[in-house]
Structure 1
Amino acid sequence: MARRKNQDERRAHLIQAVIDTTAETGLRSLSLADVARKAGLTRGAVLYYYDDLDALLSEAYRAGMERFCDRRDTLQDTIENPSRLLGETIRAGLPTGPDDALMRLLYEFDVLAESSPLHTKLVESMYERQLATYRTVLERGAGAGAFNLILDTPTAALNLVALEDAYGLHIVAGNGQISVQRAVEAMFDAARAFGAPAA
């Protein structure tokens, strides 16, 4: 059991090294040697845990899926009020700020999606999960009579995902033009405009 725990901790440490290194160097120039240095390990030690850089990147992306998809979906089990659920779903899908290294990594995957089958697959998977999350929340609100949607559910979800991605990109760009709070308010306004009040 202790060995398994140590391996899990080492894998988590390596994933964090990928996230931190990407924030410093960018995903395009990331190498296994960079990750090993950041983690304080040899390249061979990294390869003991992961077959190659793509395997490491897939696991790092999975960490993003857990944070921005899995955790958001669990909100549906704990929040009954549809407006509050939509509000918390919106908040949880945005970066914490310009220094949100995990979100920066996810956006870099978006940029490189056309140049790599792996990146394309991961980005498409995340996008489908985002859409599914918003569709479920909107359908729940409409079914409860809390939302009076003037758009069909797929279109409303599509708009929220587009806004989430666009505002998130501006936030991690760190240009100061859009704060996290301003992005939340803007998404709330958009949701209200098509009949889904967020709180």
Structure 2
Amino acid sequence: MARPRNQAERRAQLIDATARTVVELGATATKLRDVARAAGVTPASVLYYYSDIQELFAAVFERSAATYFVSREEAIAAADGPVSRLRACIRSGVPWPGEGEESTRLLFELFPVALRNEGAADRQRAFANQQTELYRQVLELGQKSGDFTLAGDPWALGRSFVALEDGYAMDLLVGSATAQDIEDRLLDHARIVTGNPAFGCGD
């Protein structure tokens, strides 16, 4: 690894190396020496920037969550109208093969960090709330336009979408569902909670 020009660059390199290692080995099997090896540095060099592996995991989770959220936000903003925006919100949360599935796998591997790291727990709560807010905004937009007849409070419905995404993503990661299965299920849920038949599966 080339010597970084500053601490921010070195931290970014360590986060990259950790993310790759976690995807390859899993968070429970990843040790500090594995990260150091992937980054081309010594374990002592890693500890100069992060106090322990848990702090490094928290930094990886924070960056991954932020990148994931921004991609969803951009997908929704590019859509026109409540129906298209809710479809975009749903589709952007599905772990499609490739980068989407890898990103989801990384976030799931790192979820347990929130149980042991207060900063990571705060970030996890904020991450869930950010995604819920995306749904809330789209649902309220459709309610105001008359496209949606909501079955409940927009925030609560948004949180249910996020919870379903998490559960269905686990189905995919263990091989009991495909990305298309997940999108179809979420679209069916959208039809039920919005009262709009445009969200029927396969439409």
TM-score range, shorter chain: 0.7 to 0.9
- In the other structure, the counterpart of 2:155 is 154
- In the other structure, the counterpart of 1:132 is 133
- Identity, in percent, stands at 31
Distance 1:149 1:33 in 2: 51
Shift in CA distance, 50/75, structure 1 to aligned 2, threshold 3 Å: same
Distance 2:125 2:55 in 1: 17
Shift in CA distance, 116/55, structure 1 to aligned 2, threshold 3 Å: closer
Which sits farther off after the overlay, 23-32 or 135-144?
23-32
Give the partner amino acid of 1:85: R
Which sits farther off after the overlay, 7-16 or 128-137?
7-16
- In the other structure, the counterpart of 1:187 is 186
- In the other structure, the counterpart of 1:65 is 65
Distance 1:88 1:5 in 2: 39
Q: TM-score, normalised by structure 2?
A: 0.80
Q: Does 1:45 align with 2:49?
A: no
Q: Is the 8 A contact 1:20 1:101 kept in 2?
A: no
- In the other structure, the counterpart of 1:16 is 16
Q: CA offsets per residue over residues 55-106 of structure 1, 9 Å max, x none?
A: 4223211222223212212334332221111111111112234883332232
Give the partner amino acid of 1:181: Q
Give the partner amino acid of 1:158: R
Distance 1:98 1:80 in 2: 26
Distance 1:165 1:23 in 2: 18
Q: Is the 8 A contact 2:151 2:193 kept in 1?
A: yes
- How many residue pairs get aligned? The number is 195
Q: Is the 8 A contact 1:27 1:109 kept in 2?
A: yes
Q: Is the 8 A contact 1:90 1:187 kept in 2?
A: yes
Q: Is the 8 A contact 1:109 1:119 kept in 2?
A: no
Distance 1:158 1:123 in 2: 14
Alignment gaps of 5+ in structure 1: none
Shift of 1:187: 0.2
Give the partner amino acid of 2:136: R
Q: Is the 8 A contact 2:136 2:154 kept in 1?
A: yes
| RMSD (Å) for aligned C-alpha atoms | 2.8
- In the other structure, the counterpart of 1:143 is 144
Give the partner amino acid of 2:87: G
Distance 1:51 1:144 in 2: 51
Q: Does 1:90 align with 2:90?
A: yes
Shift in CA distance, 34/54, structure 1 to aligned 2, threshold 3 Å: same
Q: Is the 8 A contact 2:18 2:60 kept in 1?
A: yes
Shift in CA distance, 118/105, structure 1 to aligned 2, threshold 3 Å: farther
